[in-house]
């Protein structure tokens, strides 16, 4: 029994160190970051994206933006080859809901829209509708 426990501990120590840990950007990286050009119409781009991906008519989509666009960083959900690569740009947060068959808006879900040089390049959120 002791040998089995020791083997388990050894395996955790050996393979536990192999997991890559996503690190936050350093102060130097943040200070030197190029965020690109701010988007001129981020809310319109976000609404168009949601209409397309949630298959919603304009009157069936409710969007509530949480503030304005701000400088930020993220790891792209679209870049599986570089999951720890940090991208700098502009972010916009929103909650969206769609009407159900009874004409009522359902539960809202949160989305983060990421922009670079004025264009929407990445979105994270719950698209499981």
Residue ranges per domain, the chain?
24-125
CA angle 119, 124, 126 (to 5 degrees): 135
Identify the CA nearest to 94 among candidates 80, 78, 115.
115
Q: Are strands 109-116 and 61-65 parallel, antiparallel or unpaired?
A: unpaired
Q: What is the mean pLDDT of residues 113-119?
A: 95
For the segment 36-75, what is each residue's pLDDT rounded down to a tens digit? 999 999 999 999 999 888 877 777 888 999 999 999 999 8
Per-residue pLDDT band at 14 (split at 50, 70, 90):
very low
Torsion of CA 111, 98, 59, 54, to 10 degrees: 60
pLDDT at residue number 1: 56
pTM (predicted TM-score): 0.74
Residue 23: predicted pLDDT: 83
């Amino acid at each position: 029994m002791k040998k089995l426990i020791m083997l388990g501990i050894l395996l955790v120590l050996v393979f536990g160190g192999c997991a890559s840990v996503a690190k936050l950007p350093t102060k130097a990286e943040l200070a030197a970051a190029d965020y690109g050009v701010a988007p001129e119409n981020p809310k319109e781009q976000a609404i168009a994206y949601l209409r397309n991906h949630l298959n919603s008519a304009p009157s069936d989509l409710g969007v509530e933006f949480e503030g304005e666009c701000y400088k930020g960083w993220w790891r792209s959900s679209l870049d599986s080859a570089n999951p720890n690569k940090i991208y700098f740009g502009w972010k916009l947060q929103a909650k969206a809901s769609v009407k159900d068959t009874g004409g009522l808006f359902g539960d809202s879900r949160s989305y983060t829209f990421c922009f670079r040089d004025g264009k929407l390049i990445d979105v994270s959120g719950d698209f499981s509708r």
